[in-house]
Copies of this chain bind each other. A is one copy, B any other.
Amino acid sequence: MPEYRAVREKFGFLELCHHPQAAAEVTVTAAERLGVDAAIIFADILLVLEPLGLGLQFSAGDGPVLERPINGPEDVERLGAYDVDDALGFVYEAIRLTRAALAGRVPLIGFSGAPFTLASYLIEGGGSRQYLRTKAFMYQHPAAWEALLALLARVINAYLRGQIAAGADAVQLFDSWVGCLSPDDYRHRVLPHSRAALAGLSGLAPVIHFGTGTSGLLSLMREAGGDVIGVDWRIALDDAWTAIGRDRAIQGNLDPVTLFASPDEIRKQAAAILARAARRPGHIFNLGHGILPQTPVDHVRALVDAVHEMSAA
């Protein structure tokens, strides 16, 4: 969106996250321009990593980079706990300002990265394709792996509690890259930490638990927690819901690349998802992953309008 690009000329990405007033404006402008039914705070899944002091940076084009990634168990031992509310209070302030500006027109969703996905950035030093370093660390240093994910789970839990206390109407846990794991590795080495990250939150606000490439992990993600399970486009929505169980809500699952197709094709694909949801309550229509930078804004608006129209019919 041009409005966002204008703001970004004044602020770097992390700088904008740290500026509650500007972050609130970005959220409110996007929600109003797109006509969506919920707003999401302007933040990043990696913000909880910044106070660890490993040199988190966002380079233009290349995404997040950690200057001093974790190489071995000794690096995990050196990681210090920190006061979450103090270090991340700027996000809570953004939530308060955003909520005030939204004035109850749409709910506001807070979020954080999940233990596995955050650990993968800490160990890879950035994004990855095969997660070779992350998995090798997990296999070769099981005690340090447990300590790292336990630390992250504590921080995430406190952070999401703080977001809810500041006014987030719901929170989403992004385990964006957990789909690189086998179900057995997820069950034994990740699930307990995702559960700890989510512990007690559902009693405070609805929790959305999201990942990509998770077609074979959905029932385990449900075990880990979440009132709503988010799924990407790699599985038919009704098959996903069967795997998760119909006593949970589901969010998804349009391929974000579909937004590069014609409005006609977008509408067809949205209709197919709604048909698979069979208009049951408990389906939240959404993309199956984040929107891509070059996506035409008018195609997003066309999707929102099409979903509203078809859902009301």
Contacts and interface: CB of A to CB of B under 8 A. Distances in A.
Interface of A: 129-132, 135-136, 139-140, 179-185, 213, 215-217, 233-236, 239-240, 253, 255, 257-258, 260-262, 265, 269, 272, 292
29 contacts: A129-B129, A130-B257, A130-B292, A131-B257, A132-B260, A132-B292, A135-B255, A135-B257, A135-B258, A136-B260, A136-B261, A139-B261, A139-B262, A179-B213, A179-B234, A180-B234, A181-B255, A182-B233, A182-B236, A182-B255, A183-B234, A183-B239, A184-B236, A213-B234, A215-B215, A215-B234, A215-B235, A216-B234, A216-B239
The 5 lowest CB-CB distance pairs between A and B, nearest first, are A216-B235, A139-B261, A215-B215, A215-B216, A182-B233
Contact of A260 (B140, B235, B260): B140
Contacts of A265: 139
Given A129-B129, A260-B132, A185 B255 contact: yes
Contacts of A184: 236, 269, 272
Contacts of A257: 130-132, 135-136, 139
Nearest to A240: B216
A265 B136 CA distance: 11
Contacts of A235: 183, 215-216
Contacts of A292: 130, 132
Contacts of A130: 257, 292
B139 A181 contact: no
Nearest to A254: B182
Contacts of A255: 135, 181-182, 185
A272 B130 CA distance: 22
Contacts of A185: 255
Contacts of A239: 183, 216
A262 B142 CA distance: 12
Nearest to A135: B257
A243 B305 CA distance: 36
Given A132-B260, A135-B255, 11 more contacts: A136-B260, A139-B261, A179-B234, A183-B239, A185-B255, A213-B234, A215-B215, A215-B216, A215-B234, A215-B235, A216-B239
Contacts of A139: 257-258, 260-262, 265
Contacts of A262: 139-140
A139 B295 CA distance: 14
